[in-house]
Amino acid sequence: MDHVRFLKGHGTGNDFVLLPDLDGQVTLTPELVAALCDRRRGIGADGVLRVASYEGDEAGFFMDYWNADGSLAEMCGNGARVFARYLVTAGLAAGTIPFMTRAGIVRAVVEGDTISVDMTPPKVYGASTATLGHLTLAGAAVDVGNPHLVCALPASVPLESLDLSRAPEFDTDFFPAGVNVEFVAPVSERHVRMRVYERGSGETMSCGTGACAVAAVALRDAGLDAPLLKSDVTVDVPGGQVTVSFDGGDCWLRGPAVLVAEGDVDLRALGA
């Protein structure tokens, strides 16, 4: 196969190349994914979403998500919203849409411009540190189907001052499969700002699972039990704003998802 149809979409600036592949004709490799995500020689994106069929349980689709460097990822909250946007736009699904990910089945609810995704409830399970240049920060380890380290910034360090052109250092024994690192500044008790360095992609404009991790830690630090309460946390990211809602053990990520382009990519020209 020399040419493949693609779409480009984003959720609060976290952007993806979507490859519709319900017939199972597209074979992804780390080299091809990295070439597609290359912002100068390819289409450019934080990751690739292959839209595949899935037979079993209640889901009819599989979100095959790859990071920009060609590594596999368990789950992506913004990617899930873009995935659902494609399914609705293509007339493949509507309303509440279940689909499979490597972290299990998720549900997306499409309401106009806003899409909510039923995420894996965040589990704060430990503590570690991240080092960025001369700055070492304590952080909370959070599992959202993928690993996160949420680091609160001291008031003396502006969020905008961080240099995320390089990966933060972390304890590889604690996070043997790598980790997404969030840097957080408070706005109010249930409103925070964050930047993120994503495992396999670098700094991105937004991270859905990261927003869920940050929201869970914010509520914990406020003395609230996120898994049991009903509460919303607003999370500002460089690409916009998302809302994380906890309700009796469920965790929903709510925000926009937009498809901006579609076309045909010449795989031979990518050289992968």
Instruction: State the amino acid at position 91 in one-letter form.
Output: G
Residue ranges in 38-163 assigned as alpha helix (H): 77-89
Could you tell me the two tokens for 116? 């909510």
Known catalytic residue at 76: yes
Phi/psi at 257 (5° precision): -150, 130
Burial class (CB in 10 A: 0-12, 13-18, 19+), 185: middle
Contact 246, 229 (CB under 8 A): yes
Q: Which of 37, 151, 207, 251 is catalytic?
A: 207
Q: Which of 76, 151, 212, 251 is catalytic?
A: 76
In the chain, the DSSP E strands lie at: 3-11, 14-20, 47-56, 59-67, 96-101, 104-111, 114-119, 123-132, 135-143, 147-152, 169-170, 180-188, 191-198, 202-204, 230-237, 240-247, 250-256, 258-266
Q: How far apart are alpha carbons 129 and 140 in whole angstroms?
A: 8
269's CB contacts (< 8 A; 6+ apart) are none
Tell me the DSSP string of 218-230.
HHHHTT--TTTSE
Q: How far apart are alpha carbons 189 and 133 in whole angstroms?
A: 29
- What is the residue whose two structure tokens read 């095959």? 64
Q: How far apart are alpha carbons 183 and 128 in whole angstroms?
A: 13
Query: Which residues are known catalytic residues?
Result: 76, 207
